[in-house]
Amino acid sequence: MSAIAVPQKIRREELPPGDCLCNHCTAKCCQYFALGLDKPTDHKDWEYIRWFLLHDAASTFMEDGSWYLLVQTCCQHLRPDNRCGIYETRPTICREYSTDGCEYEDEYLYERYLETAEQVVEYMEVVLPRKKKASIRGPRPKLLPVIG
């Protein structure tokens, strides 16, 4: 029985001329999907996001002012060698995907990233308008007596 050859990851700038980046990739793009969300603006919108994040493998992120639901789930046709098992009949979204702007590198950070329902609650407290005179800070403590 032969071993499955897993691609050896190299830096993008080390890619030999004529080679395809996919030959060295860990197939990050085949291990999740992201769906655009309307920008959350009120309590109800944030409650939906909180609900999403109560589900396994879900998170949300914001990039360039747009919000997304991210679901970490592997394509059922991704082979152990990180190649596509249905390459010739792959969906249009896969056919149109380009390595020019792909997430090959591992150092990328989103502008905003929320992965727990508790983070959503904390974020809501900061971004949603508060009732008049409400503050995210606790009450001001009493002044200590001056010792003289």
Q: Give me the average pLDDT of each 10-residue run along the chain (148 residues).
A: 67 86 87 96 95 96 96 96 94 91 80 95 89 66 82
C-alpha to C-alpha distances, 33 to 30, 41, 105, nearest whole angstrom: 8, 23, 17
23 is a domain residue: yes
Range of the domain at 43: 12-126
| 145 occurs within a structural domain | no
Q: What is the pLDDT of residue 2?
A: 59
In-domain check, residue 131? no
Residue 142 lies in a domain: no
Domain count, the chain: 1
pTM of the model: 0.74
pLDDT at 122: 94
The answer to whether residue 73 is domain-embedded is yes
